[in-house]
Amino acid sequence: MTKPLIYADFNNADPRGRLRLNCIGTIQDLARLGVRLQEGLKVSLHDEEMEAEGEVHYSGEERIWVAKIDWESIR
């Protein structure tokens, strides 16, 4: 299975550096692709200028889905 390419706001990171997956562009992409977030899901994340690979996790503190990315590997 190929990694879904979904929008993420690279300025919307939690204190641990994980991207929050709660913005409207992310929600629209997930709905359009029929993707349901789950622990450990590998995704490709993008905005208008950047792209990165990530792994989805649930943040119990914030009660939202987040993606752990390698900030050094942003394209």
The model's pLDDT over 14-31, given as tens digits with 9 standing for 90+, comes to 999 999 999 999 999 999
Give the model confidence (pLDDT) of 56-72 as tens digits. Answer: 999 999 999 999 999 99
- In the structure encoding, which two tokens stand for residue 35, read together? 């993707």
For residue 34 the two structure tokens come to: 């029929």
pTM (2 d.p.): 0.92
Calculate the dihedral angle through the C-alpha atoms of 66, 34, 4, 44, rounding to the nearest 10 degrees: -30
Q: Distance between CA atoms of 72 and 36, rounded to whole angstroms?
A: 27
Domains of the chain: 5-70 (2.40.240)
DSSP, collapsed to helix, strand or coil, labels residue 46 as strand
